Amino acid sequence: MKMPRTKKEDIVDEIHGILVSDPYRWLESGDDEDVKKWVAEQNHYTDSFLKNKYQKKFSDELVKDFNAVEFSNLLPVKGRYFFTERRLGEDQKVLYVKDGLNGIPTKLVDPNELHKDHSISLDYWKPGWTGNYVAYGLSEGGDEMSTLYIIDVDKKENLQEKIVNCSYPSIQWLPDDSGFFYTRNPRSGTVPKGEDRLHVKVYFHELGSNLDDDPLIFGAGRPKDDKINLTSSIDGRYVAIHVSSGWTENEIYIYDREQVKVMPMIVGISAKFKLIFLSDKALLFTNYKANNYKVLSTGLENLFKPVDEWKEFFPEKENLLASVVASEDRVLLEYQVNACSGIIMLDYSGREIEKVPLPDYSHVTAITASRTEKEFFYSIVSFTSPRITYRFNPENQKFETYRTADNPIDPEQYITKQEWYASKDGTKIPMFIVHKKNVLLNGTNPTILYGYGGFGSSETSDFNRGLVPWLERGGIYAVANIRGGGEFGKEWHKGGIKENKQNSFDDFIAATEYLINQKYTDINHLGILGASNGGLLVSAVAVQRPDLFKAVCARVPLTDMVRFQKFGMAVRWVHEYGNPDIKEGLERILKWSPYHNVKEGVEYPNMLFITADKDTRVDPMHSRKITALLQSVNKENKILLFTETEAGHGAGKPVSKIIESQSFVLTFFARELDLNV
C-alpha cells in the first residue's frame, strides 16, 4: 500500500530572532476534518503492515496472558476491607468491599456495567475514616477528567453528590465523614480554552449540602500550573496543602480548621517535602540537605518552626529513601538499592524494628496502611513474577502471604540481572536485562531496550504481561535507569533535565552500545521503546543516532518541544524541559527536539508511533507532526502511526484496547528484529 500523502506548508516562525520551521502545523488541530481524514488514512496504512497472521497470533496469546485476575492491596477501615479487582473477562477494574478479612466481597462500583464498550473507568477511590462512605471518580474514553461521586457503603447507593471536573483529586475526609476537603479543576468556560486541566484549587464539601456553596479553601490568585496534594491530622484540625509547579521542590501550607485560615509552613526552600501526621507528632519526608531523602519530626504544637530546628527521625542513608507510610503504630520506609526495593519498619519513636525480607530484583508496588489501623498490606513484583500481596498480622507480628497473582510464565526458566555501563561522560548507569536461560549471547538476539528518564520517576522491576510472547520466544528485554529519573535521588533527576537533558539521551545511547558490545544483540536486531517522556527519549535518540537501531516504537510521545507548552497541562513541564518561550530555553531545546532535528538526506529507522485521540496529557499532535516529517524524509524504512480511538494517555484503558495496541507493538518489533514467530 502506498504511503498517504501529507500536505506540507511553508511556515517559519521567528522566535527570539531564531527562525523555526514548522511545515506540518496544520496537523495540530485534531478536530479538523482534513486531519481526521489524514489520521484514518494513516491507520489504514499501518494496518496494511501490521494487521496480519502474526498480529493475530500475538493478539490471541495476549488474550490468554491477560486472562488473569488483577487485584489491588486491601485497605482496612474499621473492620471493613476495600480493594479493586478485575476478574476474568472484564475490561475494567471493579471496587469491592468486604466485612472482615474473610468476608464475602461485595461490589460497590462496577464500570463494566456503565457503557457497552467499557470505556468508562474507575480513576480513584478514597474511603472515609468510618468506612461508611467512599469517594470515587469515573471518566470516559480515557480523558481522565472524572466526575466525583460518594457511595453509601451500607446501602450500596450513591449520595446526591456529583462533582464534575475532578481529575485525580486529592481528598481528605473529616474524622466523622461528615464532609471532605478536595481539589478540583475549574468549571467549563471559567478559564481560557485549553486550560481546563490547570487552575487546580482546594474546596471543602459537607455531605448533603449544595455543591455551589462549597467554600474555596486555597488557590485564589495562585499560578495556573499548581499541583496540589492534601493530607490531614488524625483529629482533623490541620489540613496540609502541598503545592508545586515542578518536580524538584514544593511548598506546604496549613489550613487550621479551628482558626479557619491558611498559614504558610514551608515556602521558598528549593527541596521536596511531604508532611505525615502521626497521633503524637508530625513527620517530614524530605530531600532538604539530603540527596537520598531523610525524615524529620516535631511535635504537633511546633509545626511552624524552621525546618532546621526539626529533629532527625530517620537520617539520610547511602540508599534512596523512596516513600514513607504510617500505620497506627508503625512507620514503614521503602528504600531503593540500585532501583530494587526494600522495607524498613520503625516504631513511632524511630526505633528500627526489622527489615522486611524481599526477593532479589523485586519492587514494592504499594504499601496500604491507615494511621488508625495496626494491620497493613504490601505487594511486590519482579520482571518474571506478577503481584504477590503480603499482610502484616498485628496479632502475631508476622508477615503472611495474602494473595498471589497467576503467572503465565515459569520464572525458573528466566535470568534477571543488573549490569552497569559507562555513559558518554563516564557516569556509571545500571541496566536490568531479562531473558530465557537458554538464550545464547551470539550478538543476534532480537532485543527491546526500554527507557524513561524524567520527572524523578524510578524505573524499577515490573511484571509486564504484554511482553510475555516476546520473552517466551527468546527475545531479550532491557531497562536502562538513565538520568532524569529518580533512582539515585534528586541529583540523578536534575542530571537529566533542562540544560542537562542531553545526558538522558547519552545514557540511553550508551546502553544500546553496551548491549551490542556485550554480544546481546546487534544494530539489525535492536529496537527501542518508550512512552510519554520515554517516547520523547526514543524519538530524540533515533533522530540523533539513526545508525544504532533497526526499529523504534514511541508511545504517546512528545516530539515538538518548541510548542509543547501550548497544549493543555503541558505548561507544567517547562520545569523539566525548559521554557521555549525564553530565548535561552529555546536555544537549548532546539538542539535536541526530535521534530526540529530531522534532516533531509538521512534514512531513519523503522518507526511506529502510537497515540490516542483523547490523550489529554500529551497532545496527539506530537505523533502526527513527527510522522508526517519522517515520512517525507525516509526513502526506504517505514514510518507508521496508529491512533487509538476512545482512548487517552493510558490510564483506564480497557484490556481489549491494551491487547490491540500491544499486539501491534509486538508485530512491529518481531517483523523488524527477526523474532521467530
DSSP, residue by residue, 525-588: SEEEEEETHHHHHHHHHHHH-TTS-SEEEEES----TTTGGGSGGGGGGHHHH--TTSHHHHHH
262-297 tens-digit pLDDT: 999 999 999 999 999 999 999 999 999 999 999 999
Q: What is the DSSP string of 387-411?
A: EEEEEEETTTTEEEEEEE---SS-G
Percent of the chain with pLDDT strictly greater than 90: 95
34-50 tens-digit pLDDT: 999 999 999 999 999 99
| Range 193-202 average pLDDT | 94
- How far is Cα 38 from Cα 69, in angstroms, rounded to an integer? 39
Candidate list 199, 493, 622, 649, residue with the active-site label: 649
Three-state DSSP class for 253?
A: strand
Identify whether 115 is a catalytic site residue: no
| Range 116-134 average pLDDT | 95
pLDDT band at 652 (very low <50, low <70, confident <90, very high): confident
Does the pLDDT of residue 650 top 90, yes or no? no
| Range 480-495 average pLDDT | 98
Closest of 160, 224, 163 to residue 190, by C-alpha:
224
580-633 tens-digit pLDDT: 999 999 999 999 999 999 999 999 999 999 999 989 899 999 999 999 999 999
388-397 tens-digit pLDDT: 999 999 999 9
Contact 50, 640 (CB under 8 A): yes
pLDDT band at 116 (very low <50, low <70, confident <90, very high): confident
Question: Could you tell me where the beta strands, DSSP code E, fall in 383-481?
Answer: 385-393, 398-404, 414-422, 428-436, 447-450, 476-480
Question: What pLDDT score was predicted for residue 647?
Answer: 83
Question: What pLDDT score was predicted for residue 2?
Answer: 87
Question: What pLDDT score was predicted for residue 646?
Answer: 81
Per the structure block, which three cell numbers stand in for 124?
A: 480513584
Contact 579, 562 (CB under 8 A): no
- How far is Cα 270 from Cα 10, in angstroms, rounded to an integer? 44
CA 114 → CA 95, 109, 135, 149, 238, distances in Å?
14, 10, 18, 14, 38
Question: What pLDDT score was predicted for residue 231?
Answer: 98
Burial of 524 per CB tally in 10 Å (0-12, 13-18, 19+):
middle
Question: What pLDDT score was predicted for residue 659?
Answer: 95
Residue entry with cell 513474577: 385
Per the structure block, which three cell numbers stand in for 111?
A: 464500570
Contact 292, 277 (CB under 8 A): no
pLDDT band at 218 (very low <50, low <70, confident <90, very high): very high
55-98 tens-digit pLDDT: 999 999 999 999 999 999 999 999 999 999 999 999 999 999 99
Q: Amino acid letter at 618? A: V
Identify whether 649 is a catalytic site residue: yes
- Kindly list the strands in the beta sheet with 251-256, ordered across the sheet, starting from the edge strand earlier in the chain: 227-232, 238-244, 251-256, 261-266
CA 314 → CA 134, 293, 352, 356, distances in Å?
34, 9, 9, 17
Question: What pLDDT score was predicted for residue 106?
Answer: 98
Does the pLDDT of residue 244 top 90, yes or no? yes
305-326 tens-digit pLDDT: 999 999 999 999 999 999 999 9
- How far is Cα 180 from Cα 302, in angstroms, rounded to an integer? 25
What global pTM score does this model have?
0.96
Question: What pLDDT score was predicted for residue 607?
Answer: 98
5-17 tens-digit pLDDT: 999 999 999 999 9
Question: What pLDDT score was predicted for residue 561?
Answer: 98
| Range 155-173 average pLDDT | 97
Taking all residues of the chain, what is their mean pLDDT, rounded to a whole number? 96
pLDDT band at 651 (very low <50, low <70, confident <90, very high): confident
DSSP at 213: G
Contact 617, 648 (CB under 8 A): yes
**10 Å Cβ neighbour count for 64?**
12
Candidate list 297, 532, 623, 663, residue with the active-site label: 532
Contact 342, 357 (CB under 8 A): no
* Lowest mean pLDDT, pick from 200-214, 223-237, 519-533, 638-652: 638-652
- How far is Cα 445 from Cα 436, in angstroms, rounded to an integer? 11
